[in-house]
Structure 1
């Protein structure tokens, strides 16, 4: 029974490998040989372009925050164009296919890390500005409470001064009570509050303006990076393919304030005057927002991908070479013959 199961497994594995080899052979041929291969190539190109267009729509709509309709139109046009290009142009099929292993090379890691750093900057800086704005609101609230408390504390000070006058008047030979300080009556709290409100509004307006500029810049930079990311991937693949075809040797090439207590120890005056002014009352405290979890996940995934690619860089280079070999078999034979001739010439050199 175990032998029968093993035989069936081997049969299905062999059948699957044979089918995949046939599909890859049709895809990598310069021109199809018959109508069956033409139909198979059309299906493959439509499947690749359809999945690429779907990923492009998701990226534009959910990541780059474009509207759904423009994203759908762009994805549809890009997918249709890609299907036509892949079907008609054999070199573009090769260049498009080696994009994935190109991510595992040094160039791909640079692109991933640069993208992660840019996303981190464009997403975290606006969040920092929002937190600064919240801190300004807390400072405004705390300052208002402190000013009100300080100004209202004059009641306690006036009471202390009055008690001191009563005590001093009872002291013999002390009749000059004019030296006792007089507090200004009717302090204009409303005027001070108006000035504080004006300064706070001006500061908040400045921060709001900077925040809008940063948000606009962040959106623009993110879209530019998206285009540059695609162009770099495709450009790197095309450059490698050109190097493979033209160079026979090479395969291509970021607290509390405690106020005041008065104690007049003249005669038997024992009385404390205290007034507490909280610097940051609970009603003034606002919760600061941490960075978005999606940003942290995206940046972490990009860094992990870049780290993983360093471990498989050798295999990525080999895969890129094998893809080019399967698309251009004659060119690979020329390269092998050239290298063998060079090795033989080097061995025969000292003998001659």
Structure 2
């Protein structure tokens, strides 16, 4: 069984290696300053063309969605940018290196800040104007209901006044009058209420427009900073890699291991110093894990804020939708006012009373009036605004960017190693010089430790320079630590 498992594992490794061979060949062709064969030249041109097409698509989408440019102009600008990218990648090897370095730069602190900034801008563009639009829809419902109720009240007052006027001549015949009066000017009150509600809605509309413009401008600026920051960070790393042999030179690469084995100097890394990191070592140190946990805690707070903002957007949408549906379902109540007036007279009505008979009445006046109107609780001329549905795609994009930023916290150490490997692949001569410098540093460290060891048989009291050696060792360690702090790469 063990043999079968061992064979299965070997077969799976062979399958993975065969699957990775084309990718390795493509990477070798892409990282070659001058292609060694026609196959490498074709592979390099094909990869450059694919990257140029992807860059043109991103530029076109950015111009249409963020800058709101027309499709024709965006297509022309994207085509020109794609052509420039293809020429730059195909003719200038450092440009290819910068393009490759920008991918692992996303995993560093600079890339994480840019991702979080773009996520916040995307969320602000999608949520803030939408919440204000839903609040405006609810305010429009209030305006329509107020206007409709006020119109119905004024119409009822007018109909009652008409009824009183119609009964005027008839009621004066009996010496009594029916009057109906309304205090104040109803039209002026109606205009005042409409003016107030219109002012509130205009304030909401202006605030919504301002928030949308501010969020859109912020997204444009952050998008430009996103691309520019990646290129600047990659260019800074490449410049330091090519000019400073000590910069980010703390990795035990296969080239260093091979040189030490050929020179029979493996004792220089036995045991390895704490600042020497394996380029392919998957294990993180305790300090790196604690740093990751702290940063993940801060990112979790940002996720909570994002969830609250999205929940607020959905609640505003549900409230606005319920208010609009309620206003649309308000019934129209028909009102009918029947006014009937009959007048009659009797002569010598005491005689029928003595005979126990009802008095004979002679009607001389009869009036009937009918008044009909509708009570509307929502104005027919007031247009209800629809509730704006939340943009779930933008919220998911913002959350995805934040999760990607959280992944960069865990992958930051590996991203730094990957940047070193990419630069070494594009500039092997510089990597050879850096390897010799690192080997010389390991040799100096070994010689220093050998000089600090006492001769065999000597006691600790017979070493007059022991404190001095200890002080020199502590000073050297402090100098190394200060140098790595200044370079931004702490020894792992």
TM bin, normalised by shorter chain, reads 0.7 to 0.9
Out of 448, 451, 459, the position equivalent to 1:349 is 448
Counterpart of 1:245 in structure 2 is 242
- The superposition leaves residues 157-180 of structure 1 with CA deviations (integer Å, 9 ceiling, x where unpaired) of xxxxxxxxxxxxxxxxxxxxxxxx
Does the 8 Å contact 1:151/1:187 carry over to 2?
no
Aligned in 2, Cα 1:209/1:62: closer, same or farther, shift over 3 Å? closer
2:98 counterpart of 1:101: no
Counterpart of 2:390 in structure 1 is 291
Aligned residue runs from structure 1 range 1-352, under 5 A: 13-62=16-65, 65-144=68-147, 185-251=182-248, 288-289=387-388, 291-349=390-448, 351=451
- The superposition leaves residues 95-145 of structure 1 with CA deviations (integer Å, 9 ceiling, x where unpaired) of 101111111111111111111112222332212321232233233345446
Quick one: distance in 2 between partners of 1:6 and 1:129?
60
Quick one: distance in 2 between partners of 1:210 and 1:13?
58
Quick one: distance in 2 between partners of 1:233 and 1:129?
34
Aligned in 2, Cα 1:238/1:188: closer, same or farther, shift over 3 Å? same
When the two structures are aligned, how many residues end up with a matched partner?
Answer: 299
Quick one: distance in 1 between partners of 2:403 and 2:27?
30
Quick one: distance in 2 between partners of 1:235 and 1:339?
27
Gaps (5+ residues) in structure 1? 155-182, 255-279
Q: Cα offset for 1:62?
A: 4.5
Quick one: distance in 2 between partners of 1:225 and 1:134?
31
Q: Cα offset for 1:293?
A: 0.9
* RMSD, aligned CA: 3.6
- Radius of gyration: which is bigger? 2
Quick one: distance in 2 between partners of 1:233 and 1:11?
37
Does the 8 Å contact 1:99/1:237 carry over to 2?
yes
Instruction: State the 4+ residue runs in structure 1 displaced beyond 6 angstroms.
Output: 2-11, 148-154, 283-287
Aligned in 2, Cα 1:144/1:39: closer, same or farther, shift over 3 Å? closer
- The superposition leaves residues 154-201 of structure 1 with CA deviations (integer Å, 9 ceiling, x where unpaired) of 9xxxxxxxxxxxxxxxxxxxxxxxxxxxx9635422220011112222
| Higher mean C-alpha deviation, range 341-350 or range 73-82 | 341-350
- The superposition leaves residues 80-103 of structure 1 with CA deviations (integer Å, 9 ceiling, x where unpaired) of 111100111111111101111111
Task: Give SS of 2:216's match.
Answer: helix
| Higher mean C-alpha deviation, range 98-107 or range 47-56 | 47-56
Does the 8 Å contact 1:240/1:251 carry over to 2?
no
Gaps (5+ residues) in structure 2? 158-179, 250-301, 303-376, 453-492
Does the 8 Å contact 1:148/1:189 carry over to 2?
no
